[in-house]
Structures are given as structure tokens and as C-alpha cells.
A and B are shown apart, each in its own frame.
Chain A
């Protein structure tokens, strides 16, 4: 059974960079697309972007200038960096496996609050 777990700081200061890592267990990271998705009361569910296990990426155009998703296949991990954060970036952040166009395995989510 594939399991995903997000990790990283729960509090980030405005203008700084949000960094999260997703660890995949119970299966290989190879062969799939891996996504970051966030959810907040004001913005709903928002797709941030994905990375293919070979390194190709696609980002939400509205976040593209601030987002970097990377992957470490040797550690079965992929990561999110979101720069110049504001209060609008406060959300629950999920990592997920994308297969067949949909996300079939999700992490439990981690709340990231942007506040001084």
C-alpha cells in the first residue's frame, strides 16, 4: 500500500520561502507523476504542480514564478519550494501521486501558516 507523508515547518514568515518534503513509502517513486495540491477556505482546492519521476515539471501558471518542485528518487522523496509567501499562501498542503490524470494516493496534509 503506497503511503505519502508531508513534512516541513508549519509556520513561515511573510516574504520567506515555504519548503515541504513528501516521503513515499510502500512503493517506488519511479514511473509516476507526483503532485502538490493545497486547500484553503478562501481559495478552495488548488493544484500547485507536478513532477515526473524523470524530472519533468508542470506548474500552475498563477504560481509558476514562485514554485519549484524537485525529486530525489534515491530517497523516494519529492519536494516543494514556494518563495515570497504571503498570508494568501496559508493552506493545508497535500502531496499526491498522479496516475491516469487523477491523484490516487494522498498524504494526510500539513497546515502551513504564513505569519510574522
Chain B
């Protein structure tokens, strides 16, 4: 069982905005950066957001991340069919001498 909590699923129609939450604790999200990854079916995860709200080169600005306290969220606006994927949050956890933890993932479906 992950120390980070995500809803198992989220959905929206093309053009809509979808927001995915990620809840943690003071030892992970509360004191460290949050990262978000997108995993398309059958492929490796891809970094979407680093350091809470920074986008790597090539990630469109309709993708955004935020953090408040021990929770974080990923928003996808202008939803497109190619956004259908699994999304994982991740953060370093300060317990047990350092551990990079991933959330259980949220499956986004484009209706």
C-alpha cells in the first residue's frame, strides 16, 4: 500500500479540464517536491511535472501542477484523446533514510 493516495480513476470529455489529486504526509509531500508522470499503455512513464509545478521541455502548458501542504494536484485542460493514460504522483520521503515513493496511479479516460 502506497504512502501517497490517488483516486483510481478520473474522466472527462474532449476539451474539458480534469484534475487529479495526490495526498501524502509531512514526511513526503509536506517537505519535498512532487513529481508527476504519465504512462501510456505499454510504455515507460514520462515525466510531466517536476518540482511541484515545472514542466520539462515539450510538455504543453495545458498540463499544470500545484502543491499545498501535504497534497498536490495535476490538472489537464483542453482534454484530448491522447491524454488517456495512467498518471502517477511521486515524492521523496524522509523516513527510513530516504525513499522515492510513487502513488498508486490514476487512470484518466477520455469519454
Contacts and interface: CB of A to CB of B under 8 A. Distances in A.
A101 B92 contact: yes
A45 B88 contact: yes
A61 B101 CA distance: 12
B96 A109 contact: no
Interface string B61-99: 000000000000000000000000000101010001111
Interface in B28-51: 32-33, 35, 37, 43-47, 50-51
Contacts of B97: 58, 61
Interface residues of A, number: 19
Interface string A55-93: 000101100000000000000000000000000000000
- Provide the main secondary structure of the chain A interface: strand
Interface string A84-107: 000000000010100011111011
Contact of B90 (A61, A100, A102, A109): A102
Contacts of B99: 47, 60-61
Contacts of B101: 47
Interface of A: 35, 44-47, 58, 60-61, 94, 96, 100-104, 106-109
9 contacts: A35-B100, A44-B102, A47-B101, A47-B102, A94-B44, A100-B50, A101-B33, A103-B37, A109-B44
